[in-house]
């Protein structure tokens, strides 16, 4: 492939080196907004693009939309005129680099839903100019950038790899992780050409501690899929073992703790009420879908998906069994779900198993409430709309429920206090492992 024109190449690289490049981030969610923060902190001016007018208005007022990014940081970026948000895609013409951080969900048939990537590529194409760098960060199947994004961008009349740079660099965001941030997580980068990769590496290398260049777009896309398939399959394994060991009256968490003492050849994974988040429940199926085009089965992935998808139903079974011991029916029982977020200490409920758990309990005609200190009320999602508000925890309130389910093990919960005042507790996270009093009221699930 013909490399990028030398004049455009040198001009962009020089702007990046001087930190004069204007960076655009398309999609201002849990991936895009932390990326904006790193580029601003690294000395770049940024423009954030999003189709959500309310989100854009909040950010431009100097308010954060993500719990682990303080309001003060957004306010500082806005007041110093290093960041602004907009819904006007025509402003894409002004940026030197646009980083695409939009969702890649699944359809109802568990196939890739590429509408957000397609819409983003079309918006960029309408405003593309020579010498710009376009990077897709959304997790997707190998071949997406070359086979889908590049042709859409080429509708501009400009040729990718010659008139503008095109690269893929998968997001590796982990909301709530205090050990690793966007800046400290190495950035895998693949380019359409060597010059495309070089430009992307220079840009990301200006704000992130380490870049990891790979040979192709597809290698970078596949690396992210591998990371998530690895976790999906191992979590499915311990979820299955949890159900097996429960029949044997063996505590799977104790087993994992013991196995973890081996200093080699073992990495611990932990069971739960199901998979949540924007990656692990979804991304492996992107590879499954793509593999079918090559006539290749992906049996490990599909089996893992079946096990992980079943886990909320398993929890409902354990809840039913626990109530039966008290001669109570699930139908009509009052149940409190503790934790709506997909993991502890965050406000992110994307693909949270707690949502399906609540819906399953409602289907069984249980009376369900929830408490989550980070999510005061639910909002409409693509496939769910619970229309619920978080209930305030009090001793009297806890005692009023037939059963309390610990679905998310937030650190702020006092589990001794919860077990003391609840009639019955179903623990899906091993959150009550250190609770001494009232253990007869605890059921692991």
Would you say residue 440 lies in a domain? yes
Q: Is 373's pLDDT higher than 60?
A: yes
* Per-residue pLDDT tens digits for 301-360: 999 989 999 999 999 999 999 999 889 999 999 999 999 999 999 998 888 999 999 999
Q: Is 163's pLDDT higher than 90?
A: yes
Q: Are residues 197 and 271 in the same domain?
A: no
279 is catalytic: yes
Q: Which residue would you say has higher pLDDT here, 246 or 1?
A: 246
* pLDDT score, position 298: 92
* Per-residue pLDDT tens digits for 401-429: 999 999 999 999 999 999 999 999 999 99
Would you say residue 197 lies in a domain? yes
Residues 443 and 422 sit within 8 Å (Cβ to Cβ)? no
β-bridge pairing 187-191 and 165-168: antiparallel
Would you say residue 389 lies in a domain? yes
Q: Are residues 236 and 191 in the same domain?
A: no
The stretch 250-276 carries a mean pLDDT of 95
State the Rg of the chain over Cα: 24
Q: Are residues 384 and 321 in the same domain?
A: yes
Would you say residue 47 lies in a domain? yes
Q: Is 380's pLDDT higher than 90?
A: no
Q: Is 296's pLDDT higher than 80?
A: yes
Would you say residue 226 lies in a domain? no
Q: Is 35's pLDDT higher than 90?
A: yes
* pLDDT score, position 431: 97
- Distance in angstroms (rounded) separating the CA atoms of residues 388 and 25: 32
Residue ending a domain, choose from 183, 215, 247: 215
* pLDDT score, position 393: 95
- Residue 46 sits in a domain whose CATH number is 3.40.50.720
Half-sphere exposure of 97 (CA within 13 A, CB side): 34
Q: Are residues 191 and 235 in the same domain?
A: no
Q: Is 123's pLDDT higher than 50?
A: yes
User: Which member of 196, 232, 279, 412 is catalytic?
Assistant: 279
- Write down the pTM of the prediction: 0.91
* pLDDT score, position 106: 86
* pLDDT score, position 1: 46
| Domain total in the chain | 2
Q: Is 231's pLDDT higher than 80?
A: yes
Residue ending a domain, choose from 185, 215, 245: 215
Quick one: which of 390, 394, 306, 406 has its CA closest to 354? 406
Q: Is 251's pLDDT higher than 80?
A: yes
Q: Are residues 376 and 250 in the same domain?
A: yes
Q: Are residues 80 and 208 in the same domain?
A: yes
Domain coverage including residue 59: 6-215
Q: Are residues 167 and 248 in the same domain?
A: no
Would you say residue 225 lies in a domain? no
Q: Are residues 197 and 56 in the same domain?
A: yes
Q: Are residues 183 and 236 in the same domain?
A: no
Residues 343, 344, 345, 347: what is their CA dihedral angle, to the nearest 10 degrees?
30
Would you say residue 52 lies in a domain? yes
Would you say residue 382 lies in a domain? yes
Task: Supply φ then ψ for residue 133, to 5 degrees.
Answer: -110, 130
Residues 348 and 341 sit within 8 Å (Cβ to Cβ)? yes
* pLDDT score, position 79: 95
Q: Are residues 171 and 270 in the same domain?
A: no
* Per-residue pLDDT tens digits for 99-109: 999 999 888 88
Q: Is 67's pLDDT higher than 90?
A: no
Q: Is 3's pLDDT higher than 60?
A: no
The stretch 105-129 carries a mean pLDDT of 93
What is the percentage of the chain residues whose pLDDT exceeds 70?
A: 98
Q: Are residues 86 and 210 in the same domain?
A: yes
Q: Are residues 288 and 387 in the same domain?
A: yes
Residue ending a domain, choose from 215, 248, 275: 215
> What is the chain's mean pLDDT, rounded?
94
């Amino acid at each position: 492939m013909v490399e990028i024109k030398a004049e455009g190449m040198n001009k962009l690289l020089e702007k990046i080196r001087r930190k004069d490049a204007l960076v655009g981030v398309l999609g201002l969610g849990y991936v895009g907004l932390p990326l904006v923060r790193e580029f601003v902190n690294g000395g770049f001016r940024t423009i954030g693009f999003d189709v959500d007018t309310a989100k854009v208005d909040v950010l431009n007022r100097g308010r954060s939309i993500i719990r682990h990014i303080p309001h003060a940081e957004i306010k500082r970026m806005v007041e110093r005129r290093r960041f602004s948000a907009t819904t006007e895609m025509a402003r894409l013409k002004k940026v030197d680099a646009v980083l695409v951080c939009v969702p890649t969900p699944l359809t109802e048939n568990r196939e890739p839903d590429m509408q957000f990537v397609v819409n983003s590529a079309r918006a960029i194409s309408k405003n593309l100019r020579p010498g710009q760098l376009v990077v897709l960060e959304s997790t997707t199947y190998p071949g997406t950038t070359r086979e889908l994004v590049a042709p859409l961008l080429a509708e501009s009349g400009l040729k990718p790899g010659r008139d503008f740079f095109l690269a893929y660099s998968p997001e590796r965001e982990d909301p709530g992780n205090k050990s690793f941030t966007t800046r400290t997580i190495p950035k895998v980068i693949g380019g359409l050409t060597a010059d495309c990769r070089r430009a992307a590496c220079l840009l990301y290398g200006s704000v992130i501690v380490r870049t990891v260049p790979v040979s192709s777009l597809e290698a970078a896309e596949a690396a992210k899929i591998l990371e998530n398939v690895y976790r999906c399959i191992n979590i499915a394994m311990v979820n299955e073992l949890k159900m097996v060991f429960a029949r044997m009256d063996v505590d799977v968490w104790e087993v994992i703790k013991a196995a973890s003492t081996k200093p080699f050849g073992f990495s611990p994974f932990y069971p739960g009420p199901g998979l949540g988040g924007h990656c692990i429940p979804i991304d492996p199926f992107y590879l499954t879908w793509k593999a079918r085009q090559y006539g290749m089965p992906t049996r490990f992935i599909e089996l893992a998906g079946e096990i992980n998808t079943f886990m909320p139903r398993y929890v409902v079974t354990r809840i039913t069994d626990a109530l039966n011991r008290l001669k109570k029916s699930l139908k009509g029982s009052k149940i409190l779900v503790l934790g709506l977020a997909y993991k502890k200490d965050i406000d992110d409920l994307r693909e949270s198993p707690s949502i399906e758990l609540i819906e399953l309990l409602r289907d069984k005609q249980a009376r369900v409430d929830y408490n989550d200190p980070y999510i005061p009320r639910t909002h409409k999602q693509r496939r769910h709309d619970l229309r619920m508000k978080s209930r305030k925890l009090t001793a009297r309130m806890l005692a009023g429920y037939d059963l309390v389910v610990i679905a998310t093990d937030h650190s702020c919960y006092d589990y001794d206090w919860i077990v003391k005042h609840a009639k019955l507790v179903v623990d899906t996270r091993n959150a009550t492992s250190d609770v001494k009093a009232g253990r007869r009221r605890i059921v692991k699930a």
